[in-house]
Amino acid sequence: MRECVFDQILPTICETKTRFPRILKTIDDDLQSHIISGEFYGFVECDLWISDERIEELKWINFPPIISKRQLSDDYLSGYMKARFEKENRKLDQECLIQTYRGTKLFVFSPLLKFYFELGYEMKNVTMATQYLGERCFKPFIDKVVEMRIQATYDGDETKV
């Protein structure tokens, strides 16, 4: 089906009852409240922003909460690390994992986004949201395998353990 055809029929099917609370909804300005309430469970690609004032309030933790992969320049290095890089004739020619207070194009799990919101973060530039059911879909399989292994142990059948 072409997107234009789907867009035409979407209004007639968007209230279809499914196990996904927001499955036929578009990404809207209210996504943050859906994440906080637990109505949306999944991943969001977005930018995370926090004010300079709030950063100052969080600095006592000494642990910037966002881990991001970035290409760094020598400007990011402390004097000590610059000296080490020069002494060892090394260059910053690869992406590095860094801790930071702000991030762009981050792929973030909704429970983690909820934590960021509690810290005072704003979600901006949402480019993608993927919803999942927040349940343990493999639980029946895992329970059955565990039950079979326990029974094999009781039966003394080491080939099944």
Alpha-carbon distance of 23 to 97, in angstroms, equals 33
Mean pLDDT score of the chain: 86
Q: Could you report the per-residue pLDDT of 35-65, keeping only the tens digit for each? A: 999 888 999 999 999 999 999 999 898 889 9
Confidence class for position 124, pLDDT limits 50, 70, 90: very high
Q: State mean pLDDT over 93-112.
A: 90
